[in-house]
Structure 1
Amino acid sequence: MSIVRTAIPLVLLTSVLTGCAGLQKTDWPKCAAVGGVGGAALGAIESSAWAGWGALLGGGLAAGYCWAHGDGDEDGDGVPDSRDKCPGTPRGVQVDANGCPPEPVAVVEEVVVVKEEVIVIRDVHFEFDSARLTAADKERLNTIATRLKQEAASARLSVTGHTDSVGSDSYNQKLSDRRAHSVTDYLVDSGVPRSSFISVVGAGETQPVADNATADGRAMNRRTEIKIQR
């Protein structure tokens, strides 16, 4: 009978401690409560006088065992410390199964390259009835030259001169051609590679963008266009 009384407490105590081992460290009060009940039962098997001491001893042992062998969650992210590969994660941060914040998804911004662009120059007026540039014309073209020199070396430039409808068609054709070449020569002298220019032509009065019947319309038609092909 004494062997049975000794064996049963050991079996029950082992069961209690084994059950506590699967709990979290933060659940040590539960371990203590379970251990206390188990300890009281163990003490009662021996003698009713031992029930209180059994509860105290069982509760203490169970709580200590749970704290020493339990799997805690120190950072409170829901992942046990034994599997947490990123301990110390701030509270409130979402984590994956390993306890680590998910890697941010890299956002790749697509660079949109404009394949073709046209620079319209309307405030280059030349000298009267001439293809010679004025001082104001050159100042304006300096800005254009700076812009074009920033283009890639592979950019292809096409320059087209345009006139209004005043004068004969043949005369306007020749005048627009001379003015297109005048603009191109100045840009080249300003540092734009001549090899970038694939076309320099005059369109005369054949491609108006406004009504030639008005002064404002004719001013808009007197223009030079630089097409950039990338």
Structure 2
Amino acid sequence: MSITRTALPLLLVSTLLTGCAGLQKSDWPTCALVGGVGGAGLGSIENSTWAGWGALIGGVLGASYCWVHGASEQVAVAPPAPAPEPAPAPPPKEETIVVRDLHFAFDSSKIDSRDKDKLDTIASKLKAEPASTELDISGHTDSVGSDAYNQKLSDRRAHAVADYLVNAGVPASSIKSVEGYGESKPVADNKTKEGRADNRRVEIQIKRQ
């Protein structure tokens, strides 16, 4: 027996094992079948030389099948799942909504129809708050008029806003205080038209537990 015919089976086994190393176990029979059929076809020739080369070619065929399908198995591996989105930051413990440019008529605390959309938006936000949230509503004026007059006017306007919010669905139990401060807490210069407009305001302080 020639060295070539002795070495060829070993070469066949080595080639097949190398090619099939990357496959799942379920693919091994197919891998071996491809090599066996290819080798048997050529090895059936009654020529020892062709029989040896048939074994070799059969091994190459089987190994080729293994490499192609082994590579496809590796490519098909699913990528890792994306990291979860971070949780949103909790709202602050305290927040103040400043309502400016309310269209109160002179010496009036009646809510103007032009301000309903603005107050409805605020009411929707407050209705979404937890039941434990507390609200403090305060009214403020500019410096035009006497201190006593502005004090009463700011108080009436603060109550007008509070009543509107309650009628819009904000729980009355969440409103802990409604108070007017007149002109005592300005946020801008009362000497200018713009400053006085900034000082005429209603503030809604939100306190979260």
Among candidates 50, 53, 62, match of residue 56 of structure 1: 50
Looking at structure 2, the residues matched to 209 and 157 of structure 1 have their Cα atoms a distance apart, in angstroms, of: 21
Aligned to 1:12: 7
**Structure with the largest fraction of helix:** 2
**Percent identity over the alignment?**
46
Looking at structure 2, the residues matched to 74 and 182 of structure 1 have their Cα atoms a distance apart, in angstroms, of: 79
TM-score calculated relative to the size of structure 1: 0.65
SS where residue 158 of structure 1 aligns?
A: strand
Aligned amino acid, residue 165 of structure 1: S
Aligned amino acid, residue 80 of structure 2: E
1:106 aligns with 2:109: no
Aligned to 1:43: none
Structure 1 gap ranges (5+):
1-5, 26-30, 36-52, 90-99
Asked if 1 retains the 8 angstrom alpha-carbon contact of 2:98 and 2:202, the reply is yes
Among candidates 60, 70, 73, match of residue 67 of structure 2: 73
Q: What's the CA shift string for 1:76-107, capped at 9, x where partnerless?
A: 63x7xxxx4x6x72xxxxxxxxxx13322223
Looking at structure 1, the residues matched to 170 and 4 of structure 2 have their Cα atoms a distance apart, in angstroms, of: 98
CA RMSD of aligned residues (A): 3.3
Aligned to 1:135: 113
1:22 aligns with 2:17: yes
Superposition pairs of residues 170-209 of structure 1, within 5 angstroms: 170-209=148-187
Looking at structure 1, the residues matched to 63 and 116 of structure 2 have their Cα atoms a distance apart, in angstroms, of: 85
Among candidates 94, 97, 103, match of residue 119 of structure 1: 97
TM-score calculated relative to the size of structure 2: 0.70
Looking at structure 1, the residues matched to 15 and 69 of structure 2 have their Cα atoms a distance apart, in angstroms, of: 21
- In the superposition, relative to structure 1, how do residues 13 and 219 fare at CA in structure 2: closer, same or farther (>3 Å)? closer
Looking at structure 1, the residues matched to 65 and 160 of structure 2 have their Cα atoms a distance apart, in angstroms, of: 84
- Count of residue pairs the alignment pairs up: 184
SS where residue 67 of structure 2 aligns?
A: coil
- In the superposition, relative to structure 1, how do residues 20 and 130 fare at CA in structure 2: closer, same or farther (>3 Å)? closer
Q: What's the CA shift string for 1:173-217, capped at 9, x where partnerless?
A: 232222211210121122111112122222221221221012221
Looking at structure 1, the residues matched to 53 and 125 of structure 2 have their Cα atoms a distance apart, in angstroms, of: 83
Q: Which has the higher contact order (CA 8 A, sep 6+)?
A: 2
Asked if 1 retains the 8 angstrom alpha-carbon contact of 2:19 and 2:64, the reply is yes
Single out whichever of 177-186 and 57-66 deviates more from structure 2. Answer: 57-66
Aligned to 1:160: 138
Asked if 2 retains the 8 angstrom alpha-carbon contact of 1:20 and 1:62, the reply is no
Looking at structure 2, the residues matched to 217 and 9 of structure 1 have their Cα atoms a distance apart, in angstroms, of: 104
